[in-house]
Structure 1
Amino acid sequence: MSTRHLARTWEIFPDRGYSTAWLGLTGSRLAARGRSVGLVPEPYWVTYSLETTDAYVTSRLHVTVETAASARTLDLRNEAGRWTADGEYRPDLDGALDCDLGLCPLTNTMPVLRHGLHRQPGTDPHHFLMAWVSVPGLDVSANRQTYTHIARAEHGARIRYESGDFRSDVEFDDDGLVLDYPLVATALTR
């Protein structure tokens, strides 16, 4: 089975930064590594690696955040539905299939690819429980999110993303990657 290699860079608005991801898609698996830089709340660097199993289900997210004062790491794993953060079992994440790394547009890709939301017009809302990781703090929490395909676009689709009181109509390309995420990010490479 061949692997498609892709790379994307986004401008990230909330932290006045940039994020680049290099990924490989093999069948229904994704492997990626990325780097981000942000200026808010203080200058920081993020490096991460992400692996999924079949159906784009997160198996591991390893993240390092560096600031002037410190460096922190997080090893988030999903083994057959049992999530751990740095080896500690997280029962609040039971039922989650995906991670969502804060300010990282790449992590919106897995549920979109799994359900073909970038290709299927008129689908019902899809509700997810995510293992959400804050940046730069690396705190992990359970987060409920909804993705709804609302329209085909020239090179993909617009999908409504909702979580709590936040709502945004995000444009994805035909590869299932974010092109434009209003108020959050826009792709600089396509």
Structure 2
Amino acid sequence: MSETADIQKTTTRGQGPGRPREFDEAKALEVALNVFWQKGFEAASLEDLTKAMGLSRSSFYGTFGSKQALFQRALAHYSRNALNNLQAVADTSGEDPVGAMVEALANPQGGSRGCMLINCITELAPHDEEVARIGRQHLESIEEILAKSIDPEHPEAARDSASAYASLAIGTLALRKAGFPAERIAKTLAQAKSVVST
């Protein structure tokens, strides 16, 4: 079954002309996110989005208001999922949760596309305050999760170290997007981690 079909499930509740009777917003945001991730915000057209999401233009505007609003909601959705995944890594990684989280941050699901949110912070945050706000909140939450793993009893005391680890992991994303080989990135990451931990 396609993603569009998943979004347009049938129930008895009508939502107006052109809109699926049941609307799976989380699924729609995932689909929109992939369009933005592949094309970028500017290049992703309304036609690209409505076609991928299986929505008419009227339904699109009725649900999300604008491309900009959809983009911001998709970013917030991405952030929530990414932070939940990072917390799961922290909770299940045994004796070295910090190392496991740094590795997870440095190897995002997007692969060579990098982290969607970090990409957007770099590209759009300077002239989009809402994207900047979502980005700041996301980075602060990453630091909080790291700090709690470094020093569960006094996480605030570990905030500087947490910030260094987060910056280290995020910095490697630029290497990945630039096409550096995985082995080179792994060696760089290991060396930098040893510096932070001293």
TM-score of the superposition, structure 2-length normalised? 0.26
TM-score of the superposition, structure 1-length normalised? 0.27
- Higher helix proportion: 2
- Higher strand proportion: 1
